[in-house]
Amino acid sequence: MKTMDERPVQVGSARSGRFKKHHAEDLAGRSYTFICVALLIVIIISIVFFVASKGLSTFFRDGVSVSDFLFGSTWDPEGNQGDPVYGVLPFIFGSFATSLLAALIASPLSICASLFMTEIVPGWGKKLLQPVIELLAGIPSVVYGFVGLTVLVPFLRNVFPGQGIGIAAGSLVLSVMILPTITSVATDALSSLPRGLKESSFALGATRWQTISRVILPTVLPSILTGIVLGMARAFGEALAVQMVIGNAPHIPRSLFESASTLTSVITLDMGNTVMGSAHNDALWSMALALMFMTFIFVLLVRLLERRNRI
């Protein structure tokens, strides 16, 4: 048998100049990537800090009460009818109305699109619709706004009473914009279903629609809801496309075809016309804070749905 000489290890001694190079390299790499991640955290903390500190001054410095702000239906920041009034309920209403309606229009279309791609004609259906969905996602929002303004608004004006602008126009534009979001989430969920699920239903003699409506859709419902929430989040935060077609009147409209506003549209238009630090300007920041708050809610909803989906 061989002798067990337990000499100290010789590796590296021949090239001692490079002895610790790999440690230095690893440390540099790890530090660099960590700094990048840390920067992400710094960014989010500063966004939250700056928006919150500006947005809260409406309540702490300008003395507007939170309930007057959130539930007041009069927006008169320049005090044209006496004292300035900062009620943003019309804009909150506008934001919720447009994004909910958009989700209502887009969801069935998106579900049909993803069923088309995965269940009806999985081959060419996917080849046809996948690029269509990607392109819809790629078109810039100002282009949606422009087309909405030049095609949709005149069309609505001719068909319905009113000027064509308003919640209806805004929701329709937004619905096309969030179609890709809902469709891609739903398609992912549908295509990751186990094969056996469908086949056992067919084996029981169920038709395709019975299989879809009783087996497939209930199974993927949490995923579809996730997609809808993500779509609504996008619609809620979209600024320019909505602003271009909604009319921008600061009140709660009496019909879908009457000029209205959303949180984003008011911020977009007024931010450039107010002086930083004025109460009017602070009120705009408070709306931005409300938008941010809604983002948190949407993220939370998505998380809850994903958790349910996992179980």
Partner 1 sequence: MQTTSFRTEHLSVFYGQYEAVKNISLNFPEQSVTALIGPSGCGKSTFLRSLNRMNDEISQAKIKGRIWIDGVDINDPSTDVIQLRQKIGMVWQKPNPFYKSIYENIAFGPKYHGIKNKKQLDEIVESSLRKAALWDEVKDRLKQSALSLSGGQQQRLCIARALSVNPRILLLDEPASALDPVSTSKVEELIVELKKELSIVIVTHNMQQAARISDYTAYFYMGTLMEHNETEVIFTNPENAMTQEYISGRFG
Partner 2 sequence: MKAKLTDKIATFFIVFFALLIVAVLVGLIGFILVRGLGYINWSFLTSPPQTIRAGGGIGPQLFNSLFLLVLTLIITIPLGLGAGIYMAEYAKPGKFTSAIRLVVEVLSSFPSIVIGLFGMLLIVNLLGFGFSLFSGAVVLTIFNLPLMVRITEQAFRSVPKEQKEAGLALGLSKWKIITSVLFPVALPSIVTGTVLASGRVFGEAAALLYTAGMSTPRLDFTDWNPMSPTSPINPFRPAETLAVHIWKINSEGLAPDAAQIAAGASAVLVILVLAFNLFARWIGGVLYKALTASKRMG
Please, are residues 84 and 279 in contact by the beta-carbon 8 Å criterion?
A: yes
Q: Are 73 and 89 a contacting pair, CB within 8 Å?
A: yes
At its nearest, how many Å lie between partner 1 and the CB of residue 25?
Answer: 10
| Residue 9 interacting entry, from partner 2, partner 1, none, C-beta within 5 to 8 Å by type | partner 1
Q: How far is the CB of 65 from partner 2 (least distance, A)?
A: 23
User: Looking at the DSSP assignment, which residues form a beta bridge with residue 86?
Assistant: 75
When binding is defined by CB under 8 A, the residue of 8, 63, 138, 194 that contacts partner 1 is 8
Element (H, E) at 86: strand 85-86
- Judged by beta carbon, residue 64 or residue 245, the one nearer partner 2 is 245
12 binding partner 1? (CB under 8 A): yes
Shortest Å, Cβ 33 to partner 1: 16
For 127, the token pair is: 């080849």
Site for partner 1 in 14-33 (CB under 8 A): 15, 17-18, 22-23, 26
* Residues 6+ positions from 283 with CB-CB distance below 8 Å: 58, 62, 64, 69, 77, 86, 88
Taking the complex as a whole, the smallest distance from the CB of residue 2 to partner 1 amounts, in Å, to 5
Contact partner at residue 207 from partner 2, partner 1, none, CB < 5 to 8 Å by partner kind:
partner 2
Tell which residue, 208, 258, 311, 272, has the closest CA to residue 97. 258
Conformational region of residue 2, where left means phi above 0, alpha means psi within -120 to 50, and beta covers everything else: beta
Residue 7 contact among partner 2, partner 1, none, beta carbon within 5 to 8 Å by kind: partner 1
Q: Return the one option of partner 1, partner 2, none that residue 8 interacts with (CB less than 5 to 8 A, by type).
A: partner 1
276 counts as binding partner 1 under rule CB under 8 A: no
Decide: helix, strand or coil at residue 5: coil
What residues line the site for partner 1 (CB under 8 A)?
1-12, 15, 17-18, 22-23, 26
